[in-house]
Amino acid sequence: MKLQTIKQHRRRSRWSYGLFHENPVFVAGLGLPLAVMCTYSVTTAAAVSLMMACSLIPTVLLACLIGEHLPRLFRLPVYTLFSLLLVSACRTLILARIPAVLDSMGLYVPIIAVSSLTITLCQRYSLSVAKPGMALVDGIFYSLGFTIAMLLIACIREPIGNGTLGGQPINLPLRLPNIQFVFFGFILVGLLSAFFQAAHRVILGCLYRRENSTEAPRSPHR
């Protein structure tokens, strides 16, 4: 495959980093505690994803705007405190609607504010060359990618483990209660990560075949 084709593919996929390509959970391995421990139900996964998006996007944008003006020693504490304020505000709104969900999550709510996903993106955009537009785009797409991963895992674990989907009973011929255990959550994340990696290789293979099929052989000059 031509190097130019690979560069064009990377430039196009750059705007969707975090969604499928470079998915934060399945590819980058970020936020794994939340992906394993908070995906036993679709409702819980959705609540965690909402709090992650409400804290991640503004915090990454803040890091891009003021990161270079802060001493390096104070950057992470500032980002963490700001993210924790956003998570607390979002938690209050969710608590008024579905209090049972947050009661079952316990200490995993504050973990959202100090997740590896938030810290990684904030560190990336604390540099002086970072652009606020790309910080906003990455914050949105990484939040969407995290949500896709959380809901996908939950849509597998809850029906098979509890026989419900979103708290509503469903009839499935297969029931495996052990799928709700932590160790199976890690196994499921590993299997889905392998699938995402294979899908990315398939996409690159399709680009390679298309490039080879469209490139006509050159005749020698006489």
For 168, phi then psi, to 5°, come to -95, 130
Average confidence (pLDDT) over 31-55: 92
The pLDDT tens digits for 120-172 are: 999 989 876 778 888 999 999 999 999 999 999 999 999 999 889 888 888 88
The pLDDT tens digits for 173-220 are: 888 888 888 888 899 999 999 988 888 788 777 767 776 766 545 545
Helix axes 42-66 and 116-124, enclosed angle (nearest 10): 20
Taking CA atoms, 133 is separated from 76, 125, 138, in Å, by 21, 11, 9
CA 155 to chain centre: 16
- Of the chain, the end-to-end C-alpha distance in Å amounts to 28
